């Protein structure tokens, strides 16, 4: 099965949509650099829900300890890009 490729903007839009769904906000109400916990009120259960949704959406498996290091949309996007590239590299070999 071919690996889907995403642009940074597509990843950012999807991550924002997932965070918006979990935090019950509109995606345009979520600044790229807003701290998930301090500014958006994300608790540990919500963070887990976001992580699972991201994994499912992009077909990757980000370790929980890695995902917990991402504290905003920008960092989450970078993390997804990293794991997508890892997934693509392992699929190519």
Return the half-sphere exposure (C-beta side, CA atoms, 13 A cut-off) of residue 71.
Answer: 7
Sequential pLDDT tens for the chain (93 residues): 345 789 999 999 999 999 999 999 999 999 999 999 999 999 999 999 999 999 999 999 999 999 999 999 999 999 999 999 988 787 777
Task: Give the DSSP per-residue string, 36-87.
Answer: TTTTT---HHHHHHHHHHHHHHHT----HHHHTT--SHHHHHHHHHHHHHHH
Predicted confidence at residue 3, as pLDDT, reads: 55
Domain map (residue ranges) of the chain: 8-92
Instruction: Please give the CATH number for the structural domain made up of 8-92.
Output: 1.10.1200.10
Q: Which residues contact 87 (CB under 8 A, 6 or more apart)?
A: 3, 59, 60
Predicted confidence at residue 25, as pLDDT, reads: 97
Rounded to whole angstroms, how far apart are CA atoms 67 and 50? 10
Burial group, residue 75, by CB count within 10 angstroms (0-12, 13-18, 19+): middle
Predicted confidence at residue 92, as pLDDT, reads: 76
pTM for this predicted structure? 0.90
């Amino acid at each position: 099965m071919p690996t889907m490729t995403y642009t940074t903007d597509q990843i950012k839009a999807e991550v924002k949509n997932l965070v918006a769904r979990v935090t019950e906000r509109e995606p345009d109400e979520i600044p790229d650099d807003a701290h998930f916990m301090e500014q958006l009120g994300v608790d540990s259960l919500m963070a887990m829900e976001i992580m699972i949704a991201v994994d499912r959406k992009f077909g990757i498996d980000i370790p929980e300890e890695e995902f917990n290091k991402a504290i905003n949309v920008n960092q989450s996007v970078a993390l997804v890009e990293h794991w997508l590239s890892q997934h693509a590299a392992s699929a190519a070999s």
